[in-house]
Structure 1
Amino acid sequence: MIRRQYSALRIAWLVSRLLPALTLIATAGCTRSEPPQAKNTTPLVEVSAVHMQQVRPQIETFGTLSHVGKVEVFPTTEARVQAIAVKEGQSVTTGQLLAQLDSRRIEIARDQTLALIASRRAAEALAFEQLREGRRAAEAQMILIEKASLELEQRRAEYNAVAELLGRRRQLHAIGGVAASEIDALQTQYQRSLTEVRQAASDLALRTIGYRDQDIHDAGLAIPVSTAQRAAVLIELNTSTLHARLEVARAELLSAQSELRRIEVSLAETSVRSPIDGVVASRGMDVGGQAHPQTMLFALLDTTRLYAQTSIREEQLPLVAIGNRAQVHVGRRLPVTVGGSVQLIAPYLDPGSRSARVRVLLDDHSGHLLLPGMFTRVEIDTAVPQQAAVVPLSALSRDHAEQQQVFLVRNGQLFSTPVSVVSNANGRVALRGDLHAGDSIVLHPRSTYHDGMQVSVLEVQE
């Protein structure tokens, strides 16, 4: 009895487990099968409209960086090198100490010149005082001349009085009115007065030497009209030698002071300093060496200003002019782009390459490690504007031959069009090719795209 109940329960459990599966199979058998729907395999591409505008084409060429200038540093005096403050390859700034030369010999010369200047200053002061004394002596001499002139007038007056008295007494003596002894006494007085007049005249003539109108005329000066002007001219004339001595003393002092400045410059130049901002390219001497003015101490390269030296083909030269802007690209792993302008176009062609040398002076490149000799790619803006198709840079691709191309969409199909780049800036590229305004150009083309391929279009604004 118990065994029969167990069998019944087991059968019921199996039926409960199999019933859902049987129901699902039955349902599937009763459902009508439908064919699968076909999927849309036409790829969706993003397109943008072509715009035509005037652009300045670029000429792409290659070259190398070069320094603008090289400066060789020489000592100005012969001296021993005491110390060297820089190494080859080190960057230096204007005024930075490069080397120190022995300055003891120049310091001795400076001390000697300082003593000479003190002596020359004393000589100048002495000459100045002598001139002042000479002016006072000239003024005193003019006073003495005036005094001698007055004395001469007095002697002449006395002489005239004696001569008149002697004449009257002689008349009286002729008629017996005056004794002969009185006539003799008057005759003696007359001779004495005449002698005094002559002595006074000689003294006046002696004192007026150098103070006469003739002396003024002989000096090449105009004779003054007023007494004050005449006195001033005579003082200057009679102190001209003292003036000359003072000028000589002053000139000697200036010469000594100039020598001191020269020595101080030489002393300062014993500290050899960099004349430019640049890099130490080479060093010509070591510590302890005897430097000469003909011995190069350092060679410096001016790396603050660099230029890219490249060449332009003969047929491209008419498109380039002095002052045209350019972009200079340096490096591949860590590319650097610096602006510049055309500074030089060689006036002759290389007969082998039929190209002309072009120099592009770089703008400020501080913050970038650029060195002479680096390889560069140069893009030069041409001088003649041209009509070109301007599209997003993302539309540009290359075909199997690595030629630049773009894809256009016409009637839902792709068509490849070869192009050449005129210019490239700010994420947009100017192209030359069979492109027209309003053409739908594919953005971000894939390598699987090909001519005649059916596509769906999604217009975007870039």
Structure 2
Amino acid sequence: MAHVKSTLILLAGGALLASGCGGSDPAPETGYVEQVQTVTVAAQEITPEIRSFGTITYFAKADVSVTTSGLIRTLAVEEGEAVRQGQVIAAIENIQLEIQRKRTLSQISQARAALELAQAKLKEAKLQVEARLVSVLITELDVAQKKIELDDLERVLKNKEKLYAVGGMSDEEIHAARMQFAAAQNKYDLAVKSLQMQRIGLRDEDVRAAGYTFPLSEKDRVEILKTINTETLGAEVKVAAASLNAALMELEAVDQLLAETTVRAPVTGIIGMRYLEPGERVQPEAKLYTVLDLSRVYAVFPIPEGDAAFVTEGMPVEITVDALGDRKLEAKIHLISPLVDPQTGNITVKALLPNPGLQLKPGMFVRTRVISGASRKALLVPKTCLLKKEGKTGELLTVVRGRVFLNKVQLGIEKEDLVEITTGISEGDTVVDAPSPLLKEGQNVEISAD
């Protein structure tokens, strides 16, 4: 990474006063006074700034992959094309899924028919329960009738027994009367047994055994009796319904997989890369495209670690893109890396800026400028005045009463061809510009009039 300098803005102040502009030949050994050009140190108002350079990069990217295997039928967009979120960008052909869908549709038809059959059987069984209830009522009436007839025959038989006892009836007549009563008794008993059989499953104890409590209305009682007498068929309906639901869920899953064979752009942006071609066979997770979100972009640039304390997230950044000429763009610092590059001593900064016309492309070269402090007064001299420079220390020559003297100085921030002197000289001092390495401290010099 290139070396980045901390710089400053010259806002106001006096101009550097140049007394000369040319050099001279080396002084003769005797009788020669070397001419020098000088500047007068003046305090000027500066605004600290950090200048750097970097590149444009995307705000976000999305890799577009397939979720099913198949054959690439179409790839609708090329690298560099703009796409909208949801736009169809590719189509995959999967014969196995299409066959599976047809098979699932057949299973749904079968399951639906099985459910309809089970429901019909259940409905018929409930009607039969209603018929049984009616039959029970009829049998109850028949039992009651037979009971009346039996009681009547019993009364008649008792009278005949009395007559027979006094000789008023023959043996044959009493025998016939007894047989008639016995037959009526048998019919009554059979009717009672038949009624008991018909009531099985329809009794109050059957309702209680199923977990229901009394009292119940007659309507509720009938519905409960229908339910407990058709439990098996009701279970068959549930099984058939579950089978149909499973087939429908299978169809939904297949349709979802088929829908994913139509590949859509996940975000609005630019196609940054296309990896495959139509006709190629792909497996799940195969990458088709990379879509770059360029609605906003980052300007990524380095700053020296010593300047990190002067920048914070949200600070404005002036961006100049060489490809767009002298146009200035406004951005804000979005991210400051916590890591320092051990080779360069720089940290990486990301500034976010809008890109409505998508004019800013990844990789474009940018120049950046961050105002890093408040304006202040400073002593500035041209960098050419420095006889020696090592880090933040340096040496320069001042002219006092026609002689040069060596001054060790502390350096501050730099701006283009100027450097700040923090200690070592004072305002109004005369400093030699572009000093000859042959000049010696204490040597007589003459300030050039040019």
SS of equivalent residue, structure 2 residue 78? coil
**Residue from 394, 398, 401 that aligns with 2:383:** 401
Write out aligned runs for 1:39-118 (5 A): 63-118=54-109
User: Separation in 1 of the partners of 2:130 and 2:347?
Assistant: 83
Q: Write out per-residue CA displacement over residues 371-397 of structure 1, whole angstroms, 9 at most, x where no aligned residue.
A: 334444556688xxx87689xxxxx99
User: Separation in 1 of the partners of 2:286 and 2:316?
Assistant: 41
User: Separation in 1 of the partners of 2:211 and 2:106?
Assistant: 41
How far off its partner does 1:309 sit?
Answer: 4.4
For the 8 Å contact 1:325–1:339, the answer to whether it is kept is no
For the 8 Å contact 1:327–1:337, the answer to whether it is kept is no
How far off its partner does 1:111 sit?
Answer: 3.4
TM-score, normalization by structure 2: 0.62
SS of equivalent residue, structure 1 residue 297? strand
Q: What residue number does 1:364 align with?
A: 354
Q: Write out per-residue CA displacement over residues 147-184 of structure 1, whole angstroms, 9 at most, x where no aligned residue.
A: 22222222233333333443444344444444433332
For the 8 Å contact 1:308–1:328, the answer to whether it is kept is no
Q: Write out per-residue CA displacement over residues 359-414 of structure 1, whole angstroms, 9 at most, x where no aligned residue.
A: 44x343121422334444556688xxx87689xxxxx99852399xxxxxxxxxxx
User: Separation in 1 of the partners of 2:152 and 2:310?
Assistant: 114
Distance change (3 Å), C-alpha of 1:229 and 1:60: farther
Which segment drifts farther, 311-320 or 130-139? 311-320
1:124 aligns with 2:115: yes
- 2:226 partner amino acid: I
Which segment drifts farther, 372-381 or 85-94? 372-381
How far off its partner does 1:321 sit?
Answer: 5.7
For the 8 Å contact 2:69–2:283, the answer to whether it is kept is yes
For the 8 Å contact 1:135–1:239, the answer to whether it is kept is yes
How far off its partner does 1:320 sit?
Answer: 5.9
User: Separation in 2 of the partners of 1:131 and 1:357?
Assistant: 75
Structure index of larger Rg: 1
- 2:210 partner amino acid: A
- 1:222 partner amino acid: T
Distance change (3 Å), C-alpha of 1:94 and 1:207: same
Q: What residue number does 2:149 align with?
A: 158
How far off its partner does 1:118 sit?
Answer: 3.4
How far off its partner does 1:99 sit?
Answer: 2.9
For the 8 Å contact 1:223–1:230, the answer to whether it is kept is no
Q: Which has the higher helix share?
A: 1
How far off its partner does 1:85 sit?
Answer: 2.8
How far off its partner does 1:78 sit?
Answer: 1.9
For the 8 Å contact 2:58–2:292, the answer to whether it is kept is yes
For the 8 Å contact 1:330–1:374, the answer to whether it is kept is no
**Residue from 280, 286, 299 that aligns with 1:289:** 280
**Residue from 292, 298, 314 that aligns with 1:307:** 298
How far off its partner does 1:112 sit?
Answer: 3.5
User: Separation in 2 of the partners of 1:83 and 1:121?
Assistant: 37
How far off its partner does 1:200 sit?
Answer: 1.8
Distance change (3 Å), C-alpha of 1:168 and 1:369: same
Q: What residue number does 1:327 align with?
A: 317
How far off its partner does 1:139 sit?
Answer: 1.8
Q: Which has the higher strand share?
A: 2
How far off its partner does 1:268 sit?
Answer: 3.3
**Residue from 192, 195, 211 that aligns with 2:202:** 211
How far off its partner does 1:350 sit?
Answer: 6.6
For the 8 Å contact 2:322–2:365, the answer to whether it is kept is no
Q: Write out per-residue CA displacement over residues 114-145 of structure 1, whole angstroms, 9 at most, x where no aligned residue.
A: 34433433333333333332332222221112
TM-score, normalization by structure 1: 0.61
- 2:137 partner amino acid: E
- 1:88 partner amino acid: E
User: Separation in 2 of the partners of 1:164 and 1:350?
Assistant: 123
Q: What residue number does 2:173 align with?
A: 182
**Residue from 197, 214, 228 that aligns with 2:188:** 197
How far off its partner does 1:292 sit?
Answer: 0.9
How far off its partner does 1:204 sit?
Answer: 1.9
What is the RMSD of the two structures over their aligned residues, measured on CA atoms? 4.2
- 1:133 partner amino acid: E
SS of equivalent residue, structure 2 residue 383? coil
For the 8 Å contact 1:81–1:100, the answer to whether it is kept is yes
1:221 aligns with 2:212: yes
**Residue from 224, 241, 250 that aligns with 1:259:** 250
Q: Write out per-residue CA displacement over residues 173-204 of structure 1, whole angstroms, 9 at most, x where no aligned residue.
A: 44444443333223322322232222222222
1:277 aligns with 2:259: no
**Residue from 136, 147, 172 that aligns with 2:127:** 136
SS of equivalent residue, structure 2 residue 90? strand
For the 8 Å contact 2:79–2:271, the answer to whether it is kept is yes
Distance change (3 Å), C-alpha of 1:246 and 1:68: farther
- 1:366 partner amino acid: P
How far off its partner does 1:336 sit?
Answer: 5.3
How far off its partner does 1:343 sit?
Answer: 4.5
For the 8 Å contact 2:69–2:281, the answer to whether it is kept is yes
How far off its partner does 1:79 sit?
Answer: 1.3
Distance change (3 Å), C-alpha of 1:232 and 1:380: farther
> Structure 2: which 5+ residue stretches go unaligned?
1-14, 16-46, 386-410, 415-421, 423-450
- 2:140 partner amino acid: S
Identity across the alignment (%): 30
For the 8 Å contact 1:138–1:238, the answer to whether it is kept is yes
Which segment drifts farther, 238-247 or 70-79? 238-247
- 1:301 partner amino acid: L
